[in-house]
Structure 1
């Protein structure tokens, strides 16, 4: 038995069928290319969150107790400054949950002379039959190249990743966790754009044959084509509709709930910001703000989101470069962060008032050298 609503068109106005069964929601893909396209490139909220975190984290300089390592971090490549290199790593971590950097050495020299970031969507893990990581495959314009560990076990590729509970190789992106909110935000924008293209109103209904009559298939197709060509889209807004032959136009209006696209988008935007750890107040998103002032929200952003990310990357760089630089230690220089200025002043005031401490002890507690 064929269901009556499987027909693509309803050509008779003598009966109407309304279906309330909603289809299953279709959510976007989780791969790196899709997250870049739908999130960073196609969504303003995600773009701003990634830029805020990456630029703030890259503004904190990384220092080292080794002069060669410090010089390498300050100028990792001939065409790129250190903060630009770090900004790319932080950005890839937020978009895809993974970031890769490759160290380049010269023949006969063990220490790296340059560090180059690798595009996150071009790197793939090479594993053994048992699932152990054996190297990295980097896609190029023609083919790919495999980067494996050197003879002493050191890997020329540094892999930074965010914690993923079900994957031991790849990390989990904040955009992946906020994928549903991202699709909802983009879908609300597409819905609003469709309304604007259709003169900001839904389609009406043409009623024919109040006494039970109906249009022939040819009349139905001709009338439908004429309406789509001359009476839909923003360019045809306000154009009068000429009716004859017993046709009657019944316009339909949107309810206030249907028009509340702004509220839906703001709720989705707050969820996207939550996944990144950016207070909605800093993004100008209206709604329930947790922090009383902009200053409190800014300090929380630096303390709870930016600083842990910088310390994570600094620790990873220290472990990675320790095999090529003796006992290297890479630490973030927090004295260069304006957001922590008030905390530094409070610490110095407490140390200055501590009469039971020597000057050497005060300088050590303040993080200042001898």
Structure 2
């Protein structure tokens, strides 16, 4: 049994032979990836999973995407003539902008382990855009050459095949070097436990009666009387909107409180811990997804830097490396850079402090700072001293 076959067996994925030289398996779709009982779509019902996915994907879609050309061994410059520059500005296709596409690609990778997009090229092979492909529509095929092919089945029943050079394939950590595996499936028990706590909490709020306790009778009750009392009591006191209503009993009936609450069942603490568990899976600091239980002004600022350094930077590097592999021709000298310094847009004080340091150290000159800020170059007055400038 080969490496890929052993990996498939460990992951429990179906395998079928196309012919003697090919091996194929059904890729992880939205109904798989966690366990047989919890799908990726069900996982998104967990607010922390959705919050972490949105935080990472929207942050990477937000930062500036720059195209550079390598000039010599140590020099590089922006390449405004490259088609990717226009795609970033004008959209990856007529129906999707660049930020939307990046958000789709990264979110799919976080939830299923794989994000796939078709590379659109013109008649002469020039880059024209990208088309997002849902991973649930993909069957990955290992060819005899050792390369991957992707069989796509769209909702209309049309099937087609794309090769490695035709797609951008962003993947989470793999077990076999070919197909990414979702971190939700790697920690399926953790995710299922958090989901179970949510189900229990919803059931408690939906079915719980308050006040909560036992109705006692001094006289034996018939089955019909017990049924009528139970139905009447549930209709009167069950549900969150009826909590705390006054209960009136007669006929020798008495109420004995049971003193059961969510705190006694440790339900609230369990749900709080579930937020931290999911954040660990995605490498997202809890304050980023609005969990401020351990928050201070100091550590919230640190959480933002931690998020950029240990979560976003590795994903940005993955995207840049995938573009170097699949979009740019080998040896072309072009590269994509996701500029994480773009996060300073939301903090003008730090941004201008950084500009000041760059000016004083000679890293940038004033015109370059103006360019970074999106301002035009300064113009000199006509028929005057060139050193006299106007803003």
Match of 1:124 in 2: 139
Distance 2:131 2:254 in 1: 68
When residues 216 and 199 of structure 1 are mapped into structure 2, their CA distance, relative to the original with a 3 A threshold, is closer
Output the CA distance in 2 between the equivalents of 1:38 and 1:202.
Answer: 33
C-alpha deviations, 1:297-337, integer Å up to 9, x for none?
A: 11111111112211210111121023389343222234533
Match of 1:103 among 110, 119, 124: 119
In structure 1, the partner of 2:287 is 281
| Cα deviation, residue 281, structure 1 | 2.6
Distance 2:311 2:352 in 1: 18
Name which structure has the greater RCO, CA cutoff 8 Å, separation 6+: 1
Do 2:33 and 2:184's aligned partners in 1 also have CA atoms closer than 8 Å?
no
2:160 maps to 1:146: yes
2:168·2:327 contact (CA, 8 Å) conserved in 1? no
Q: Which runs of 5+ in 1 are unaligned?
A: 1-27, 354-358, 364-370
Please tell me whether residue 317 in structure 1 is matched to residue 323 in structure 2. Answer: yes
Q: CA offset at residue 101 of structure 1?
A: 0.5
TM-score (ref. length: structure 2): 0.66
Question: Which of 49, 62, 66 does residue 63 from structure 1 map onto?
Answer: 66
Distance 1:247 1:127, change over 3 A: farther
Among 332, 338, 358, which residue is 2:338 paired with? 332
Secondary structure, aligned partner of 2:161: strand
**For 1:135, which of 149, 166, 173 is the aligned residue?**
149
String of CA shifts for 1:132-188, please: whole Å, max 9, x gaps: 564223232232413233xxxx53122110113x34433233433454444444433
Match of residue 155 from structure 1: 165
**Structure 1 position 228, deviation (Å):** 4.6
TM-score by length of 1: 0.70
- Match of 1:171? 180
Counterpart in 2 of 1:348? 358
Counterpart for residue 196 of structure 2 = 187
Confirm or deny: 8 A CA contact 1:195 1:201 kept in the other structure. Answer: no
2:307 alignment partner in structure 1: 301
1:62 deviates by: 2.2
More strand by share: 2
Q: How far apart, in 2, do the equivalents of 1:142 and 1:222 lie? A: 54
- State the distance in 2 between where 1:291 and 1:131 align: 55
In 2: Cα distance, 1:32 partner to 1:345 partner: 53
Deviations 1:2-40 (A, max 9, x none): xxxxxxxxxxxxxxxxxxxxxxxxxx9617995542232
Mapping for residues 229-268 of structure 1, pairs under 5 Å: 229=235, 232-234=238-240, 237=243, 238=245, 240=247, 242=249, 244=251, 249-254=255-260, 257-268=263-274
